């Protein structure tokens, strides 16, 4: 996106785990919006900062394409799509600007609970189901393990029971989902939380100052919290 704009556009999740905390944080930063009827676009009233309400998966791409300037998205999603770009030979398009202290979870390997876990070398030749193939493939490569990555878009935790994979790599927060599926976490690939993401290259117009101000306010709001 090379278009010059004098308003900042932030993509946040429309509904889901990060939707409400993202809006609350931005409201605490002094932003307010006039909502449109379709509620996909919220025009900023207190400041020239508009919201776009989208699926979390779309946020990194919207920043890469310059459709949005900033986004609130899970580090897991940002790193996955960055890894996918890298594997396709594309240059970095976005970067993490600030951790936001909500949406915490871990991307973990989990195995059937009766397994005796002896370490990553045990994974050689096995099938691992995940929605995070790029992060997993990168980790396997760094461990020197050759395993089969089975990409699934959802219900990853039932793959071992269905026989489509031997183990899984999925997000874990309370651990209840793993326990309910007789799986146990064995390796942590990523500590994740919601982050404020922006373009790799920054801005060269009025958006630079707006983004800087927003970052300062985010910093202030988060410091008040802890």
> Of all residues in the chain, what percent are helix, strand and coil, respectively (each to 5)?
35, 30, 35
b/e map 75-114, b = 16+ CB within 10 Å: bbbbbbbbbbbeeeeeeebbeebbbbbbbebbbbbbbeee
Q: Which does 170 bind (CB under 5 to 8 A by kind): Zn ion, ligand PRT, none?
A: ligand PRT
* Nearest approach, Cβ of residue 198 and ligand PRT (Å): 17
Q: Which is nearer to ligand PRT, 137 or 171 (CB)?
A: 171
Q: Which residues contact 164 (CB under 8 A, 6 or more apart)?
A: 127, 129, 150, 152
Is residue 170 near Zn ion by the rule CB under 5 A? no
- Applying CB under 6 A, the span of 21-29, 69-77, 117-125, 137-145 interacting with ligand PRT comes to 69-77
Task: Give, as ranges, the residues between 148 and 167 that touch Zn ion (CB under 5 A).
Answer: none
Chain center to CA of 171: 11
Is residue 153 near ligand PRT by the rule CB under 6 A? no
Q: Which is nearer to ligand PRT, 18 or 29 (CB)?
A: 18
- In the three-class reduction of DSSP (H, G, I as helix; E, B as strand; rest coil), residue 31 is classed as coil
* Nearest approach, Cβ of residue 30 and ligand PRT (Å): 25
Q: Which helix (H) or strand (E) holds 148?
A: strand 148-151
Greatest distance between any 2 Cα atoms in the chain: 58
Q: Which does 50 bind (CB under 5 to 8 A by kind): Zn ion, ligand PRT, none?
A: none
Q: Which is nearer to ligand PRT, 8 or 105 (CB)?
A: 105
Is residue 81 near ligand PRT by the rule CB under 6 A? no
Is residue 170 near ligand PRT by the rule CB under 6 A? yes
Q: Which two tokens stand for residue 37?
A: 């009827």
Is residue 56 near Zn ion by the rule CB under 5 A? yes
Q: Which two tokens stand for residue 67?
A: 């459709």
Q: Which residues contact 73 (CB under 8 A, 6 or more apart)?
A: 11, 13, 18, 56, 59, 60, 194, 195, 197
Task: Give, as ranges, the residues between 104 and 133 that touch ligand PRT (CB under 6 A).
Answer: 105
* Nearest approach, Cβ of residue 11 and ligand PRT (Å): 11
Chain positions contacting ligand PRT, by CB under 6 A? 13, 16-18, 55-57, 74, 76-77, 103, 105, 170-177, 192
The residue ranges that bind Zn ion (CB under 5 A) are 56-57
């Amino acid at each position: 996106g090379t278009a010059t704009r004098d308003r900042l556009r932030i993509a946040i999740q429309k509904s889901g785990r990060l939707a409400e905390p993202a809006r609350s944080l931005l409201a605490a930063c002094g932003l307010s919006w006039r909502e449109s009827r379709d509620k996909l676009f919220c025009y900023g009233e207190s400041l020239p900062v508009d919201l776009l309400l989208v699926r979390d998966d779309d946020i990194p791409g919207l920043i890469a394409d310059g459709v949005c300037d900033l986004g609130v998205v899970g580090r897991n999603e940002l790193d996955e799509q960055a890894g996918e770009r890298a594997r396709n030979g594309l240059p970095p398009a976005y970067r993490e600007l600030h951790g936001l202290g909500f949406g915490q979870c871990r991307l973990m390997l989990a195995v059937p609970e009766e397994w005796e876990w002896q370490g990553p070398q045990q994974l050689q030749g096995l099938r691992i189901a995940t929605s995070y193939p790029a992060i997993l493939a990168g980790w396997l490569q760094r461990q020197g393990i050759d395993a089969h990555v089975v990409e699934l878009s959802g219900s990853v935790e039932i793959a071992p029971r269905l026989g489509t994979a031997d183990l899984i790599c999925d997000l874990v927060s309370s651990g209840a989902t793993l326990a309910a599926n007789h799986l146990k976490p064995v390796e942590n690939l990523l500590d994740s939380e919601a982050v404020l993401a922006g373009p790799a290259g920054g801005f060269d117009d009025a958006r630079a100052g707006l983004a800087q101000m927003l970052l300062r306010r985010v910093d202030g709001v988060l410091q008040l919290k802890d």
